[in-house]
Structure 1
């Protein structure tokens, strides 16, 4: 893990305000809207969703930094930033 401080800060923010933690890793999109709705329905569903997204993001980021390409999309994740682990890809790579 390259920078554990950023992961710890995102987790601390998520403990208090789950949608803000999702916004920090996913941006403004479907995942944020889903998390806001879940948090309004109950505080714990919002936490579960936010921590799931954060786990996927940091896991995929670490895999990308190790050079491993995760082929399978994470279920229930709509943000390409989370799917790619924050790695920007320019163009398509043919295997």
Structure 2
């Protein structure tokens, strides 16, 4: 009985981590789109720190998919595929651990 609740807690924790990472990827996509259409944020230390954080956290994971999925002109499909893989991975982990 104790192990069942621990497994459920671990599955919930991993699901929460995956959800947060998906939100970070989506935030990175929107900021990248904003800058690609010519948007500019005035220089400030906090905004630069946020943008650097988003890039540093998401690029290593997205680079895996960018090696296999070439961009279609200005459209980069690798973040969408990366999010789908995260969702599927979360479901597999939840089914395996969360019973």
TM-score category of the 2 structures, normalised to the smaller one: 0.3 to 0.5
TM-score by length of 1: 0.41
TM-score by length of 2: 0.40
Q: Write 1 or 2 for the structure with the bigger share of helix.
A: 2
Q: Which has the higher contact order (CA 8 A, sep 6+)?
A: 2
Q: Which has the larger radius of gyration?
A: 2
